[in-house]
Amino acid sequence: MDYKRYENGGTDVVIPIPRSYADCWQLVRSDYLRYKRTMAPWPKIACYALISRLFAFSLCLRMASYRGWAYPLFKIMHRHLSKKQGLHIDPECHVGYGLYIGHGCGVIVNPTAVLGNNINLSQFTTIGSNEGHAATIGDNVYIGPCVCIVENVHIGSNVTIGAGAVVTKDVPDNATAAGVPAKVISYKKPGRYVSNRFTWQ
């Protein structure tokens, strides 16, 4: 596994870049931990993908992020699940360990966005850009329902973004932000809704 470091305000975000299907599977296992609170052997993880469409989407997203011999198959599966679930996260998007999608509906993430490790995405979330570079988001971040994160803002680590917020400015580490436009309303209990965190360092 290779790693790429992104500057994110005062704290850098380190994102895994898979260089093999073994690396992709490590990312799948990190996502499984977020859903099921435990690690498991590959047959159990594969069976869970058959009964959970959200996790199946995550699995295809991860496996399509490496352009190996099975890339066309995983790309087709990813596209099918994307349309069926209303989840638009491109395999080119840099996503850290432990992605958790709370509800499979209306999640749109621009391919230029950077999502750190242990991110929670809720329904009707948009992380977008009209100017060629979307947000960089730190580790252990909870993004509530109906949130819009606009353009190249920096979201710190251990951040909670409340439902319906429109984020147009940077949010510092350990903050809770809410409102339209979003403002910091608290520094209490940072990252409190991000459970079952995957530890990779």
Residues involved in catalysis: 133
* Buried-exposed string 155-180: b where 16+ CB fall within 10 A, e elsewhere: bbbbbbbbeebebeebbbbbbbbbee
Backbone angles phi, psi at 61, to 5 degrees: -60, -45
Q: Work out whether strand 160-161 and strand 176-178 pair parallel, antiparallel, or are unpaired.
A: parallel
Identify whether the C-beta of residue 132 lies closer than 8 Å to the C-beta of residue 150.
no
Structure tokens belonging to residue 126: 């948009």
